[in-house]
């Protein structure tokens, strides 16, 4: 073991990123991963000739000329993957009224469609669209405080950041800093209200949605042509090419500590590995309360893990269908006329992903369609203890979805060749994310604006990366978080932070 050796827990996006930057800066790193493959929640798996993509819906900042693009270049992502600009973010289909609205990259068209839907809300629609345009023009979309970790920002950096945000300041306070669900209470049309609340999540601040629309309008939202599989593989390849090592099916059960310094890890099979530095890019709750036994918990951490809400977990139902969907957008939100129950909750709508934009996911003429429904952790976690009831419930939910799809795509039931259902329990089993929270903390206004330290007070040589220290998660923040810990490490070791860009 040397000062320069680094152990990383977790080969999700944050762990792989931390590994790449550690290698670029002369540290010898190795990653221990619980699952048999990399990616964490950016997961893809094969079933009966279909490729199911259970992760990333879109990537932001995939075009050259932005700091984010440089991050993707450093990690070998853009050299290998192809991205398809999103022109329709989502279609909203209201079963009760039969009305449908497309949220398009053409903001003029979007404004006009929303005003036709609800003339009484014209002023509010104008306000939102003009906010999105201001965001788009401001240039702050791609690097809001991410280039450097907050820990390393000096007053000049902070001033620069404030200056770069001068045109959009007003959107980070007042009504635009409130959750969309609150803001949307002023909306007259119930359908428009539902659309606004479901553009992302009802709890996100209004500014978050303005940014989303700005990215869409700026053609900075891309679909992954090769899905999570190719995306993750490209970073794993980059890591290995830099000399990094990953061990799969290697669950860390304890972080070894001596004299308040992290010195290594113990795996579930009892083997111990020593290192000068330990980085956890794994689930936050288990890192802090299990792997470290709750020994380095201050009042802020207690507050966070007691009171902050987690993102609501989901059931994901994927169908392999012997049918093409040539004219459908890749995402449709169905607002159901007849909700159905899962446990104690009613499903009033679901998002459908249609993987019709790439040949990667299904044989020619066939398509994967995938419904994503919010659900409860406790319900599925309890149900799983009785495997036959659990499986039966998965089958029932798949049937409910299919019967709804039948109304929109007649005969689809007879064309289904493959059905796959994953639950919050599945998310936990493969990634160990607390209560199946696939993106960590719920991105509310407070959580999004609260920086979480990457270190634990009282514990030296230990860092955290990933969605549990980047509230709201997401690909860019998680990749940046891996970069951040190595930047902090380099500063600690008194050396410049280095990056490199691989050739194709």
Ligand X SMILES: Cc1cc2nc3c(=O)[nH]c(=O)nc-3n(C[C@H](O)[C@H](O)[C@H](O)COP(=O)(O)OP(=O)(O)OC[C@H]3O[C@@H](n4cnc5c(N)ncnc54)[C@H](O)[C@@H]3O)c2cc1C
- Which residues contact ligand X (rule: CB under 6 A)? 9-15, 32-35, 40-42, 54-58, 251-252, 281-283, 286, 431-433, 438-439, 466-467, 473-475, 478
Closer of 286 and 356 to ligand X (Cβ): 286
How many other C-beta atoms can be found within 10 angstroms of the C-beta atom of residue 198? Answer: 17
Q: In angstroms, what is the minimal distance from the CB of 174 to ligand X?
A: 27
In angstroms, give the least distance from the CB of 189 to ligand X. Answer: 27
Between CA 311 and CA 331 the distance in angstroms is 20
Cα–Cα distance measured from residue 372 to residue 418, given in angstroms and rounded to the nearest whole number: 16
Closer to ligand X at the Cβ: 124 or 333?
A: 333
> Residue 321: which of 95, 43, 93, 52 has the closest Cα?
52
Q: How far is the CB of 252 from ligand X (least distance, A)?
A: 4
Nearest to ligand X of 252, 405 (CB atom): 252
Shortest distance, position 263 Cβ to ligand X, whole Å: 17
Distance, in Å, from the CA atom of 213 to the CA atom of 382, rounded to the nearest integer, reads 39
Residue 255, Cβ neighbours under 10 Å: how many?
24
In this structure, are residues 248 and 33 in contact, taking their beta carbons and an 8 Å threshold?
A: yes
Nearer to ligand X by C-beta: 117 or 235?
235
Of residues 288 and 362, the one with the C-beta less far from ligand X: 288
**From the CB of 408, what's the least distance to ligand X, in Å?**
22
Find the angle CA(114)-CA(117)-CA(121) to the nearest 5 degrees.
65
Q: Output the smallest distance, CB 89 to ligand X, in A.
A: 11
Question: 330 or 433: whose CB is closer to ligand X?
Answer: 433
Is the CB of 356 or the CB of 467 nearer to ligand X?
467
Helix or strand holding residue 191 (H, E)? helix 190-198
Q: How many CA atoms lie within 13 A of 381 on its CB side?
A: 14
In the bound state with ligand X, the residue whose beta carbon lies nearer, of 131 and 473, is 473
C-beta closer to ligand X: residue 179 or 472: 472
Q: How far is the CB of 97 from ligand X (least distance, A)?
A: 28
Q: How do 245-247 and 416-422 pair as beta strands? A: unpaired
SS3 of 248-303: CCCCEEEEEEECCEEEEEEECCCCEEECCEEEECCCHHHHHHHHCCCCCCCHHHHH
Structural Rg of the chain based on CA atoms: 23
| Beta carbon of residue 6, minimum distance to ligand X (angstroms, whole number) | 15
| Minimum CB distance to ligand X, residue 98 (Å) | 29
Query: d(Cα 275, Cα 335) in Å, to the nearest integer?
Result: 52
Cβ proximity to ligand X, 192 vs 424, nearer residue: 424
> 2 and 276 in contact (C-beta within 8 Å)?
yes
Other beta carbons within 10 Å of 54: 24
Half-sphere exposure of 414 (CA within 13 A, CB side): 2
Cβ neighbours of residue 165 closer than 8 Å, sequence gap 6 or more: 138, 140, 144, 172
C-alpha triplet 275, 279, 281: angle, nearest 5°: 140
Least distance from C-beta 30 to ligand X, angstroms?
12
CA-based torsion, 110, 111, 114, 115: positive or negative = negative
């Amino acid at each position: 073991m040397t000062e320069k050796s680094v152990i990383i827990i977790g080969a999700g996006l944050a762990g792989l990123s931390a590994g790449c930057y550690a290698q670029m800066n002369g540290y010898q790193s190795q990653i221990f991963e619980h699952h048999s493959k990399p990616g964490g929640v950016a997961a893809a798996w094969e079933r009966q000739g279909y490729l199911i993509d259970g992760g990333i819906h879109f990537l932001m900042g995939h075009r050259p000329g932005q700091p984010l693009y440089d991050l993707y270049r450093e990690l070998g992502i853009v050299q290998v993957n192809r991205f398809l600009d999103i022109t329709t973010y989502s279609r909203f289909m209201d079963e009760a009224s039969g009305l449908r609205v497309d949220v398009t990259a053409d903001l003029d068209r979007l404004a006009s469609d929303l005003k036709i839907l609800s003339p009484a809300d014209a002023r509010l629609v104008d306000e939102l669209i003009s906010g999105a345009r201001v965001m788009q023009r401001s240039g702050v979309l791609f690097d809001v405080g991410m280039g450097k970790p907050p820990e390393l920002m000096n007053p000049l950096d902070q001033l620069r950041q404030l200056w770069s945000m001068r045109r959009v300041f007003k959107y980070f306070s007042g009504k635009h800093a409130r959750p969309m669900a609150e803001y949307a209470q002023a909306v007259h049309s119930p359908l428009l209200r539902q659309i606004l609340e479901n553009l992302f999540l009802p709890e996100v601040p209004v500014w978050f949605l303005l940014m989303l629309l700005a990215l869409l309008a700026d053609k900075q939202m891309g679909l992954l042509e090769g899905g999570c599989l190719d995306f993750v593989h490209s970073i794993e390849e980059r890591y290995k090419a830099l000399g990094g090592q990953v061990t799969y099916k290697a669950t860390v059960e304890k972080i070894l500590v001596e004299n308040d310094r992290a010195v290594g890890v113990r795996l579930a099979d009892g083997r111990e590995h020593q290192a000068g530095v330990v980085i956890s890019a794994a689930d936050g709750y288990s890192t802090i309360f299990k792997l470290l036994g709750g020994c380095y918990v201050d009042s802020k951490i207690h507050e966070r893990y007691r009171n902050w809400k987690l993102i609501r977990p989901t059931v994901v139902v994927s169908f392999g269908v012997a049918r093409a969907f040539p004219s459908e957008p890749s995402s449709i939100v169905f607002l159901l006329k007849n909700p159905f129950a899962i446990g104690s909750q009613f499903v009033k709508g679901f998002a459908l992903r249609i993987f019709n934009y790439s040949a990667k996911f299904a044989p020619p003429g066939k398509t994967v369609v995938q419904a994503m429904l919010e659900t409860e952790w406790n319900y599925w976690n309890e149900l799983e203890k009785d495997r036959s009831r659990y499986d039966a419930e998965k089958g029932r939910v798949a049937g409910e979805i299919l019967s709804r799809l039948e109304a929109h795509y007649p005969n689809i039931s007879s064309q289904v060749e493959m059905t796959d259902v994953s639950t919050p329990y599945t998310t936990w089993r493969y990634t160990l994310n607390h209560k199946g929270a696939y993106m960590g903390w719920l991105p509310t206004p407070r959580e999004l604006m609260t920086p979480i330290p990457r270190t634990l007070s009282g514990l030296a040589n230990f860092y955290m990366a990933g969605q549990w220290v980047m509230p709201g998660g997401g690909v860019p923040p998680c990749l940046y978080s891996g970069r951040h810990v190595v930047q902090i490490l380099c500063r600690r070791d008194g050396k410049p932070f280095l990056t490199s860009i691989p050739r194709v």
